[in-house]
């Protein structure tokens, strides 16, 4: 079966750069029976990737689960630092809630029922955007509340030694990536970009180089004066100062691209708060497992259906 064709929308233009959404509206949705919306952000350490990286389960979800899938690009670091990326995420949400989006989708989407999701670094974005963690530190207004968050193998804390310890080479690569191989991408003064194709050089080496050198925090925050701790999800939630919508979190326990403890720490904090959280830790499963066409993510979509009914 051919993959469904998305409706491509421009949601904002920042620094002269158009930012795009791929929108998949269920054929069954109507003006009187609108589909809830599920916004997904791609991974790649906020350094690489594209909205075109949706998994097979995302593409089948509109027909199978009657939800509108929205895959959103955002500007990439280090050419855009983390505060700009968080501003883009809020802008994407605001656009999905706007009359322009309603008109473009035939008034068939219920943006009042909004789930935020993401994979890897996109999972971290879903935590930050859905709770408001980090927005005050960036001098930004936090987004409006959402119905729930679905974070897939998420990053959650830059203080983890995984992001600060050099690995020459990283555990899952047979070679050290030389500096010159990433020189065009690591230059913070280079032209701003909001995607890198999945088969591009940036998408094939930049994340691995970052892990190799232990430089994620500097790539995301250098020059901002904002500490990485401002975006640590679990410690922030424990303060009780942030919105905590229902959450679904899933991680494989042998993930060597993002340590499983990044998810565990957030889930532990949520359980201390007695929050509504569902957690799946998959034994013997690595990163990006949901890209397998046989991975239907049924428990996640059951969670989505539950919170949208509440």
19 domain residue, yes or no: yes
pLDDT > 70? residue 5:
yes
Indicate the number of domains in the chain: 1
Mean pLDDT, residues 160-175 taken together? 95
Instruction: Give the model's confidence band at 13: pLDDT under 50 very low, under 70 low, under 90 confident, else very high.
Output: confident
Q: Report, as an integer, the average pLDDT of 147-176.
A: 97
In a domain, 285, yes or no: yes
SS3 20: strand
pLDDT in tens, 118-156: 999 999 999 999 999 999 999 999 999 999 999 999 999
Give the mean pLDDT of 158-173.
96
pLDDT at 1 over 70: no
CB 287 within 8 A of CB 256: yes
In the structure, what pLDDT confidence band is assigned to residue 2 with cuts at 50, 70 and 90? Answer: low
Residue 131 lies in a domain: yes
Q: Is residue 1 part of a domain?
A: no
Does the pLDDT at position 235 exceed 70? yes
Q: What is the pLDDT of residues 27-45, one digit of tens each?
A: 999 999 999 999 999 999 9
- Kindly report whether the peptide bond that precedes residue 115 is cis, defined as omega within 30 degrees of 0: no
Q: What would you measure as the largest C-alpha separation in the chain, in angstroms?
A: 57
- The span from the CA of 68 to the CA of 23, in Å, is 7
**Host domain of residue 138:** 7-309
Instruction: Please check whether residue 33 lies inside any domain of the structure.
Output: yes
Instruction: Tell me the pLDDT tens digit for each residue of 62-80.
Output: 999 999 999 999 999 999 9
The average pLDDT across 234-248 equals 97
Residue 15 confidence (pLDDT): 80
Q: Report how far residue 118's alpha carbon sits from residue 39's, in angstroms, rounded to the nearest whole number.
A: 8
Contact 147, 246 (CB under 8 A): yes
Q: Is a pLDDT exceeding 60 seen at residue 264? A: yes
pLDDT of residue 39: 98
Q: Tell me the average pLDDT of the chain.
A: 96
State the pLDDT confidence band at 216, using cuts at 50, 70 and 90: very high
Has residue 137 been placed in a domain?
yes
Residue 185 belongs to a domain with what CATH number? 3.40.50.1820
Percentages helix, strand, coil for the chain (3-state, rounded to 5) are 35, 20, 45
Evaluate whether residue 2 is within a structural domain.
Answer: no
The DSSP code sequence of 168-211 is SS-TT-SSPPPHHHHHHHH-TTSPP-S---TTSHHHHHHHHHHH
């Amino acid at each position: 079966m051919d993959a469904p064709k998305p409706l491509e929308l421009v949601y904002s233009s920042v620094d002269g750069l158009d930012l795009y959404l791929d929108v998949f509206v269920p054929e069954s949705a109507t003006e009187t029976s609108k589909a809830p919306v599920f916004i997904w952000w791609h991974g790649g350490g906020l350094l690489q990737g594209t909205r075109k990286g949706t998994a097979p389960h995302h593409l089948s979800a509109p027909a199978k689960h009657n939800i509108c899938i929205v895959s959103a690009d955002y500007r990439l670091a280090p050419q855009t630092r983390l505060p700009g990326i968080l501003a883009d995420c809020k802008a994407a949400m605001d656009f999905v809630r706007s009359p322009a989006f309603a008109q473009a989708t035939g008034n068939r989407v219920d943006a009042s029922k909004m789930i935020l999701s993401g994979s890897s670094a996109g999972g971290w974005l879903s935590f930050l955007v859905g709770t408001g963690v980090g927005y005050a530190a960036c001098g930004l207004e936090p987004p409006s509340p959402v119905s729930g968050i679905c974070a897939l193998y998420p990053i959650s804390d830059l203080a983890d030694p995984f992001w600060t310890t050099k690995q020459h080479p990283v555990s899952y690569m047979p070679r050290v990536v030389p500096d010159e191989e990433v020189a065009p991408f690591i230059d913070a003064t280079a032209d701003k970009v909001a995607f890198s194709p999945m088969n591009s050089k940036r998408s094939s080496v930049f994340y691995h180089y970052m892990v190799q050198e232990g430089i994620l925090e500097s790539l995301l925050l250098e020059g901002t004066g904002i500490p990485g701790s401002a975006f640590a999800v679990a410690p922030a939630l424990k303060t009780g100062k942030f919105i905590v919508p229902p959450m679904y979190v899933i991680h494989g326990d042998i993930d060597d691209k993002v340590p499983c403890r990044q998810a565990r720490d957030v889930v532990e904090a949520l359980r201390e708060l007695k929050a509504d959280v569902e957690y799946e830790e998959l034994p013997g499963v690595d990163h990006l497992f949901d890209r397998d066409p046989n991975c239907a993510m049924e428990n996640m979509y059951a969670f989505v259906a539950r919170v949208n009914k509440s």
